[in-house]
Amino acid sequence: MKRVLLGMSGGVDSTVAAILLQKSGYSVEGVYMKLHNNEDYHKTNFNKAKRVAEYLNIHIHYLDITDEFNDRVYEYFIDSYKEGLTPNPCIVCNKEIKFGRLVEFADSLDIEYISTGHYVKSDGKNILMAKDQSKDQSYFLAKIRSKIIPRLIFPLGDMLKSEVKKIASNIPILLDIATQKESSEICFVEGEYTDLLKEHFDIDKEGEVLDLEGNVVGRHKGYMHYTIGKRRGFFVHGAHQPHYVLKLDSQKNQIVVGTKEYLSRVQFKIKDINMFEELSNFDCDIKVRYRTKAVPATVSIDGNKATVRLKEPVFGLASGQFAVMYNKDRLIGGGEIVA
């Protein structure tokens, strides 16, 4: 019987993944990964994961990797905002922790296959978009190592979220899990990200608002409160049209603003590229944020950097976010945006 290590969070997705893996004939072991120091959060969710494991008669491990998570994900998140960037910690976490440290733990147990409750598909060679486009998480897997793809199993890839909830709701002992509130996208952020930043920095230092010519036109409440495309929370003298954040200067605590047309971009660069196929100059569809549609583009790779030329404009392109490339529904690579 093939053995699989399943990341179990105590939520409905990993719970149903465990059920489906068992029905498919796998010998399942679970692992709950403690990623941060919210003890109440972990106590609640590990107890749910244990209840699922007991119901399914599978062994569950408890893996405390808070130090690694802090070094590889949390510090990256904090440092990015300090530098005036807009980070995506979930992409980094998937590379370093969920499909990095999890694989290492599977190796230590001599388990070949790794599974999670992600909404994504794999054919053993490629990562593919999920059936449920509203839940598709392939974007977040753009930086994982291609060599592990043959080991990955995604039981929810061909399912709708409604179908997943129905499976869990038909099992009385799991009903509370089936009906619980969806978890937040960033597991260690409760409330606003600025509340977390305040634990590390004085983010409320007022600064200057500049126009595109470098003229001081207003005041803002501290550059870490803003991301590219934001249109509120700052004052512009004499403005008769909505103004948006176009650029952040972390060194001078300044923001540059302008009207919406200046948010439009048709060309940008990316760095630290991770590719699942050997390509250099190619056409693809590209997403510049998770919740945006993919747009057609031409990509020219030079080493670990690339130039992206879009065939239609995007708005609010932010340095630090990730551009993720697709060939139809197939994930082919991604890199960090240098706007």
286 and 137 assigned to the same domain: no
* Residue 110 dihedral angles phi and psi, to the nearest 5°: 60, 40
- 3-state SS assignment for residue 275: strand
61-73 per-position pLDDT tens digit: 999 999 999 999 9
Q: Is 90 left (phi over 0), alpha (psi -120 to 50) or beta?
A: alpha
| pLDDT interval class at 184 (50, 70, 90) | low
Q: For residue 193, tell me if it sits in a domain.
A: no
185-241 per-position pLDDT tens digit: 778 887 789 999 999 999 999 999 999 999 999 999 999 999 999 999 998 987 778
Q: Is 231 left (phi over 0), alpha (psi -120 to 50) or beta?
A: alpha
3-51 per-position pLDDT tens digit: 999 999 999 999 999 999 999 999 999 999 999 888 888 999 999 999 9
Q: For residue 144, tell me if it sits in a domain.
A: yes
154 and 226 assigned to the same domain: no
Task: Report how far apart the first and last C-alpha atoms of the chain are (Å, whole number).
Answer: 49
* Residue 314 dihedral angles phi and psi, to the nearest 5°: -120, 160
pLDDT of 1: 85
| pLDDT interval class at 172 (50, 70, 90) | confident
Q: Which one, of 37, 40, 36, lies nearest residue 73 by Cα?
A: 36
Residue 32 amino acid letter: Y
Q: For residue 323, tell me if it sits in a domain.
A: yes
11 and 85 assigned to the same domain: yes
Instruction: Quote the domain boundaries for residue 74.
Output: 3-179
Mean pLDDT to the nearest integer, 312-335: 96
- What CATH number does the domain containing 290 carry? 2.40.30.10
- What CATH number does the domain containing 216 carry? 2.30.30.280
93 is catalytic: yes
pLDDT of 164 > 90? The answer is yes
Mean pLDDT to the nearest integer, 240-263: 94
**Among the listed ranges 68-72, 168-172, 324-328, which one has the minimum average pLDDT value?**
168-172
Mean pLDDT to the nearest integer, 163-190: 82
187 is catalytic: yes
244 and 113 assigned to the same domain: no
Last residue of a domain, one of 258, 293, 325: 258
Mean pLDDT to the nearest integer, 312-325: 96
pLDDT of 262: 95
142 and 48 assigned to the same domain: yes
Mean pLDDT to the nearest integer, 106-121: 97
Q: For residue 191, tell me if it sits in a domain.
A: no
Exposed, middle or buried, 92 (CB in 10 Å: 0-12/13-18/19+)?
buried
243 and 287 assigned to the same domain: no
76-93 per-position pLDDT tens digit: 999 999 999 999 999 999
- What CATH number does the domain containing 56 carry? 3.40.50.620
Q: List b or e across 30-55, with b for residues whose CB sees 16 or more CB atoms inside 10 angstroms.
A: bbbbbbbeeeebbeebbebbbbbbee
288 and 144 assigned to the same domain: no
Q: What is the percent of the chain with per-residue pLDDT over 90, rounded to a whole number?
A: 87
Q: For residue 71, tell me if it sits in a domain.
A: yes
Q: Which one, of 151, 90, 142, lies nearest residue 115 by Cα?
A: 151
34 and 153 assigned to the same domain: yes
Q: For residue 195, tell me if it sits in a domain.
A: no
Residue 304 amino acid letter: N
244 and 287 assigned to the same domain: no
Last residue of a domain, one of 258, 290, 322: 258
Last residue of a domain, one of 242, 258, 274: 258
302 and 168 assigned to the same domain: no
Q: Determine which one of 17, 114, 153, 187 is catalytic.
A: 187
Q: For residue 150, tell me if it sits in a domain.
A: yes
254 and 267 assigned to the same domain: no
Q: Tokens representing 180?
A: 């619980």
| pLDDT interval class at 133 (50, 70, 90) | very high
**From CA 65, how far away is CA 21, in angstroms rounded?**
25
* Residue 102 dihedral angles phi and psi, to the nearest 5°: -65, -40
236 and 268 assigned to the same domain: no
Q: For residue 75, tell me if it sits in a domain.
A: yes
pLDDT of 173: 79
Q: Determine which one of 65, 93, 248, 310 is catalytic.
A: 93
Query: How many folded domains does the chain comprise?
Result: 3
pLDDT of 57: 96
